[in-house]
Chains A and B, each alone.
Chain A
Amino acid sequence: AQSVTQPDIHITVSEGASLELRCNYSYGATPYLFWYVQSPGQGLQLLLKYFSGDTLVQGIKGFEAEFKRSQSSFNLRKPSVHWSDAAEYFCAVGASRGSTLGRLYFGRGTQLTVWP
């Protein structure tokens, strides 16, 4: 069965500190992997995605993520957090081919609080 686990419900960091949000997935085939961000009162916005190739992917707003097949992980990182990064972050997995293309499975989300 397809599933995504985000083990951290809430993370608090100081502005300027580094950040890592964890994501583990379970998927029967070669997955597409995503990180989305949701600011308060807003819909979700794509931060970055992994389809194939280089396992370290760069996204918007200075975020990056690394795909580790052996660990079934796709952790999100940022070297220096800004106060505007405070939001909820969702990891998601989807099919790389077939009839379910476009259908994503989301994790439960990690709420990020940034202290000034």
Chain B
Amino acid sequence: DVKVTQSSRYLVKRTGEKVFLECVQDMDHENMFWYRQDPGLGLRLIYFSYDVKMKEKGDIPEGYSVSREKKERFSLILESASTNQTSMYLCASTPGGKWTGELFFGEGSRLTVL
């Protein structure tokens, strides 16, 4: 069965802390995505990656960075967390090549920044 795992379901951090959100997929997918979900705003794309060591900015990349050192792992980094980054973060993956159209999502990481 397809699996996207986000290591932390709930995190509480303080303003200014460095935060790592980890995402691992076991499907050998080339493409990985980080979305942010806020009530009334839907999902907004932060960063995505089509290959190892490759990254592309999405719609709201400010205040975030990413790392993709291995194909199965895509990390979202908040260099200095701020209260307006309190949100639900969703990781997703999809195979490269002929695309079936489905994004496979993790269960999300709910981050609270105090």
A interface residues (Cβ-Cβ under 8 A, vs B): 4, 6, 9, 32, 34, 36, 41-46, 49, 51, 90, 94, 101-109
Within 8 A of A (CB), among B81-114: 90, 92, 94, 99, 101-103, 105-108
Taking the nearest CB of chain A, how far is it from the CB of B84, in angstroms? 18
A90 near B43: Cβ-Cβ < 8 Å: yes
B108 near A101: Cβ-Cβ < 8 Å: no
Residues of A within 8 A of B101 (CB): 32, 34, 46, 49, 51, 94
- B-side interface mostly: strand
What total count of A-B pairs have CB within 8 Å?
55
Residues of B within 8 A of A34 (CB): 101
A7 to B56, CA, bound (A): 30
Within 8 A of A (CB), among B1-41: 4, 31, 33, 35, 40-41
Within 8 A of A (CB), among B40-85: 40-45, 48, 50, 58
A42 near B107: Cβ-Cβ < 8 Å: yes
A9 near B107: Cβ-Cβ < 8 Å: no
A108-B105 contact, Cβ under 8 Å, with A43-B4, A102-B31, A103-B45:
no
Residues of B within 8 A of A9 (CB): 40
4 smallest CB-CB distances across A and B, nearest first, come from A43-B105, A106-B43, A108-B42, A106-B42
A108 near B40: Cβ-Cβ < 8 Å: yes
A43 near B31: Cβ-Cβ < 8 Å: no
9 other A-B residue contacts (CB within 8 Å) besides A43-B106, A46-B101: A34-B101, A43-B4, A43-B90, A46-B102, A102-B48, A103-B45, A106-B43, A108-B41, A108-B42
Residues of A within 8 A of B42 (CB): 4, 6, 90, 106-109
A105 to B102, CA, bound (A): 13
A-B contacts, 25 listed (Cβ < 8 Å): A4-B42, A43-B90, A43-B105, A43-B108, A44-B105, A45-B105, A46-B101, A49-B101, A51-B101, A90-B42, A90-B43, A101-B99, A102-B31, A102-B48, A102-B50, A102-B94, A102-B99, A102-B103, A104-B45, A105-B45, A106-B35, A106-B44, A107-B42, A108-B41, A109-B42
